[in-house]
Amino acid sequence: MITIKDLSISFHNKVLFEGFSGSVFDKDRIGLLGKNGSGKSTLLKAIAGIFRNYDGEITTNGKIVYLDQYRTFDAPTPFEYYSQVSDTPEKQKNVRSILKGFGFDEKDWHRPIHTFSGGERTKLQLGRLFIEQPDFLLLDEPTNFLDIEGIELLKNLLKNFAGGYIIIAHDRDFLRNVCDKFWEINNERVWVFDMDFDSYRVQRQLIMQTQRRQLANMQKEIERLKKIIDQYKKWGRDKAVKQAKSRQKMLDKMLEELEKMPAQYLEEQEKIIKIPVPESTGYVVLECKDVRWGSLIKDATFTMYSKDKIALIGPNGSGKTTLLKIITGQIDYEGTVKIGHNVKMVYVDQFVERLEPENTAFDEIFEELSDQLDYVIRAYLGRFGFKGEDAFKVVSQLSGGEKQILALAKILLRKPNLLLLDEPTNHMDLAAVEALESALKEYEGNVLIVSHDIELIKNVCNRFLTLKDGILVEVDEPSYFKTQKDQTINNKKPNSQYDEKKRLRNQIKSLKTRLQELKEMEDSIFLQIDEIEKQLFTTSDYTKIMKMNEQKENLEQKLLQILEESEQIGQRLKELDEQ
């Protein structure tokens, strides 16, 4: 279906990734992940044939349909928009079932598209994609603005879709349910994980841990080799000179590998700076009673108590954002809204607009932490995803998701005790969503959040309110909320090939253990020789000098025996690795 060969893409003089080759088969279900700005959307556009400024080759066959993250339409009403592709009776029948499935009544078919909410426009575009009956889908953030019911319908459409797809998404529950393979753009490379979502998350963590350990071990080994080479050169013996040359080759190779390490799958580790603790509120933080707004909200009655973190859920266009604006006093309403004692309330969306376009992320946080050292500010930014040089990104160049989380990072330093958030994860990458979740879980104030990210609200919130048909009710869990996990047990019987591999692994493990023992013995002997040489410089007793020289020669002889055995084991390990 799709063949990619040695693909490299640069954008604005920045390498996004290079040297990527891979094959995508007809029924592959791939999640495409990576930080904002890493090149995910550009890669999809390249596959779709929209972006062509790349090196390498992309070949496709079959009908491939692309949905970008910016919802644009070339028709004024849903009916006209769908008429462009529903050219058979079967497709026309599918139009009705898909539109009804997404919650559109027939009276909505002739409404101007510009009157629909963001989530409704997303549904219209997604529905049309399936009417076109493509062989393969390329979807860029299809869950943005969708309500939980919409996300659930999309899951079912994808599960029943006969073809394959590549999806950019940040909703973990969604990815877990619809994808079984993952590509991640990380440090200018595209990494392929042919496994389910949870296995992918475990595997990427293991890769990072392994590489950090390899880096530390490599640096330690380099220092050890330098000392050995210096010692061999001091001796001046033929065998020692030979060993020095051999070890120098090892050292040169290791130094070359060390230079390449930054291109590996490594993420910068930042010092964790805690979220400031806000002042305590009274027991009742917020109370809404008989709140009404036109025909949209008929009765919104609820009470938020101290430490509550509440998710406000419901279908697109049900009035969730309107209720937030009522609570923050932005629009008139009927009924009663009471703010509790000592409550300092902040609506995060309002602060996004107050970020100064010419400031860097660092500048914005510096305004709140002007008495702190630079490394503290950078460490704080790091926990919100602005790591390394990202701390100096200019606000005007940030994505919508990056602006949202930067605004939140800044607001939290002002110690509000009630946060109101409206769909904060839209346009965030997965790392930013997880940073947001971590911050909200640690935050000791109250939260009222509108979100359809099931995993986020499950992990952060203790209460769930839903607006449906204008009535606000409390529910035990979000609609369609699922906690079931697939458990696959592989009961393969061992065979001769398995037994042979196991035998070789055990042999390799045993040899590596012995090699480590020899290295420790080698280090110990070097310390003893160093100590003897120091004593030789400080004594004039001939008898002691003779005795110490004899000890030194014995140690050197033992060292050569260790080196010979190490070389033999190294050669044997190489042979076993080839097997």
CATH of the domain at 66: 3.40.50.300
Q: Are residues 352 and 421 in the same domain?
A: yes
pLDDT, tens digit, 9 for 90 and up, residues 116-161: 887 888 888 888 888 888 999 999 989 888 888 888 889 999 999 9
Q: Are residues 410 and 372 in the same domain?
A: yes
Q: Are residues 321 and 444 in the same domain?
A: yes
- Regions in the chain scoring below 70 on pLDDT: 69-71, 235-240, 259-272, 479-503, 542, 579
Q: Are residues 367 and 332 in the same domain?
A: yes
DSSP E strand boundaries for 2-93: 2-11, 14-24, 29-34, 55-60, 64-67
Q: Residue 64 burial (CB < 10 Å; 0-12/13-18/19+)?
A: buried
Q: How many domains does the chain have?
A: 4
Is residue 294 a contact partner of residue 332, using CB atoms and an 8 Å limit? no
Q: Give the per-residue pLDDT at 269.
A: 46
- Gap between the Cα atoms of 186 and 356, Å rounded: 29
Domain assignment present for 483: no
One-letter amino acid identity for 173?
D
Q: Are residues 208 and 182 in the same domain?
A: no
Q: Are residues 362 and 405 in the same domain?
A: yes
Q: Are residues 150 and 7 in the same domain?
A: yes
107 three-state secondary structure? helix
Domain assignment present for 224: yes
Is residue 292 a contact partner of residue 333, using CB atoms and an 8 Å limit? yes
| DSSP state letter for 29 | E
Q: Are residues 253 and 290 in the same domain?
A: no
Is residue 150 a contact partner of residue 317, using CB atoms and an 8 Å limit? no
Q: Give the per-residue pLDDT at 483.
A: 36
* Cα 39 to Cα 16, 82, 429, 499, distances in angstroms: 6, 31, 12, 44
Dihedrals φ, ψ of 94, to 5°? -65, -35
Domain assignment present for 529: yes
Answering whether pTM is above 0.75, one says no
Q: Are residues 158 and 249 in the same domain?
A: no
Q: Are residues 222 and 343 in the same domain?
A: no
Is residue 436 a contact partner of residue 172, using CB atoms and an 8 Å limit? no
Q: Are residues 366 and 260 in the same domain?
A: no
* Cα 542 to Cα 104, 536, 546, distances in angstroms: 102, 10, 6
Q: Give the per-residue pLDDT at 493.
A: 40
Q: Give the per-residue pLDDT at 487.
A: 35
Domain assignment present for 297: yes
Q: Give the per-residue pLDDT at 489.
A: 32
Q: Give the per-residue pLDDT at 31.
A: 96
Q: Give the per-residue pLDDT at 491.
A: 40
The alpha carbon dihedral of 219, 224, 226, 227 has a sign of: positive
* Cα 568 to Cα 46, 231, 522, 573, distances in angstroms: 51, 22, 15, 9
Residue with tokens 């389910």: 196
Give me the domain span that covers residue 540: 495-579
Antiparallel, parallel or unpaired: β 29-34 and 164-168: parallel
Domain assignment present for 273: no
Q: Give the per-residue pLDDT at 471.
A: 93
* Residue 536, H or E segment: helix 496-536
Domain assignment present for 431: yes
Is residue 169 a contact partner of residue 143, using CB atoms and an 8 Å limit? yes
pLDDT, tens digit, 9 for 90 and up, residues 263-292: 555 554 444 578 899 998 888 999 999 999
Q: Give the per-residue pLDDT at 131.
A: 86
Q: Give the per-residue pLDDT at 378.
A: 87
